[in-house]
Amino acid sequence: MSRALIVSRAAPGMTVQDLGRPGYLRFGLSRGGAADRSALVEAGALLGQDQGLAAIEMTSVGGTFEATEDVRIALTGAPMRATLDGARLAWNASHLLPAGVPLVIGPAEEGTYGYLSVGGGLSTPEILGSRSAHLTAGIGGAIESGAELPVGPDGGTTVNMALSDGGAARRVTGPIRIVSSLQTALFPEAERARFEATVFHRDARANRMGGRLLSEGEGFAAEAGLTILSEVVVPGDIQITGDGTPFILSSECQTTGGYPRIGAVLPSDLPRVVQARPETDLHFVFVTPEEATEIERNETARRAGLRQSLVPLVRDPWKMRDLLSYGLVGGVVNAHDADAISY
């Protein structure tokens, strides 16, 4: 049997994703790719391979998987309850998935999008230079139960490694940083201040295209009498729709939009927004382009250093204390099922 990952049971909203297909914006096709791009970067570091290799994106719930040959896997993004042959697997870590042993990934314990990456990456057919499903464009489709996804050759052998912070970097709280965009200046200063002071919640119907940001109180309004021509829009843009509700664009957004934009989320904070659950409080704060550049520079450095700063997952129970501290930070394990943790 060829090297493949069999998806014996797939929850809805499961797709193959890589970093998408840039270069087609002018033909009306948005880049697409993983909703949480940083999760793929982290998986690449854990497996010691290119961050652009295709993985499985799971929305809120995972599925059951089985490999036809031994494959290395990495679990990143929204921590989900994962077990291998019944034993609990740490999230934000790499593992060996032996041939024929069922990997069961349950519901997300926090966040929305979880990622199952494989050593060598999924080698499904490329369309326009990417393996990403782009559902709104009609490229690819959701993974159905019973799918057999080919896996590429794996140059690496290392497993049982974890992110040094247990994934804590993605659990940063504090406001989501935004910069001004095309029509920010058309929103009176008081309106922008109110936007910064408002607590938002991501609409439960949000998807890979984007979602509304719900809040109590009045909607937001730009200066009256505007006629805005449609302009290019990209993920992270926050449009104010006709009824005053902000709508934040995500990976599979349309490429042009005619609603005024109050601001745009920094790329490094976008994963926090797309991962937010409906009950998660979201605050926004404007930063200058210079501050934004510094934030992005730090995030780029963090990502570049991930591979060097991995820590081994350890079996030794005497080290369990340290491990638990990582685990608690990362939300991966808890004291109740420490016995069931499998490394």
Partner 1 sequence: MQSPIIRNAGYDGFIVTFGDRLGEGANRAALAFRDALEQAGLDGLEETSTSLVSAYLRFDPLTIDHDDMRARLEALLKSRDWEGVALPHGRRLWRVPAAFDPEVAPHLDDAAELAGFDSRDEAVRSICGQPVRVQTIGFAPGMPYLGQLPECWDIPRRTTLTDNVPAAAICVAIRQLVLFPNMTPTGWRHIGQTRLKLFRPQAEEPFILRPGDEILFVPVSLSELDGYKDDPDGGAVAEALE
Which positions touch partner 1 (CB under 8 A)?
22-29, 127-128, 136-139, 179-182, 227, 229-232, 234, 236-237, 254-256, 264, 266-267, 289-290, 292-293, 296-297, 300
| C-beta of 23 vs 146, nearer to partner 1 | 23
| C-beta of 184 vs 275, nearer to partner 1 | 184
| C-beta of 157 vs 227, nearer to partner 1 | 227
User: How, if at all, do strands 284-286 and 237-240 pair?
Assistant: unpaired
Pick from 244, 239, 224: nearest CA to 181: 239
Q: Which amino acid is at 221?
A: A
Helix, strand, coil % in the chain, rounded to nearest 5: 25, 30, 45
Q: Please check whether residue 341 is in contact with residue 88, taking contact to mean a CB–CB distance below 8 angstroms.
A: yes
Closest contact distance (angstroms) between CB of 274 and partner 1 is: 16
Closest contact distance (angstroms) between CB of 276 and partner 1 is: 19
Closest contact distance (angstroms) between CB of 83 and partner 1 is: 37
Q: What's the DSSP call for residue 299?
A: H
| C-beta of 28 vs 100, nearer to partner 1 | 28
Q: Please check whether residue 13 is in contact with residue 115, taking contact to mean a CB–CB distance below 8 angstroms.
A: no
Locate 173 and state its tokens.
């709280």
Closest contact distance (angstroms) between CB of 140 and partner 1 is: 9
Distances (CA, A) of 93 to 68, 158, 235: 21, 11, 28
| C-beta of 70 vs 299, nearer to partner 1 | 299
Closest contact distance (angstroms) between CB of 134 and partner 1 is: 8
| C-beta of 304 vs 340, nearer to partner 1 | 304
Residue that has been written with the tokens 């999230």 in this structure = 91
Closest contact distance (angstroms) between CB of 106 and partner 1 is: 33
Closest contact distance (angstroms) between CB of 246 and partner 1 is: 15
| C-beta of 87 vs 185, nearer to partner 1 | 185
Q: What is the CA radius of gyration of the chain?
A: 21
The whole-angstrom separation of Cα 180 and Cα 309 is: 34
Distances (CA, A) of 58 to 14, 188, 264: 5, 40, 26
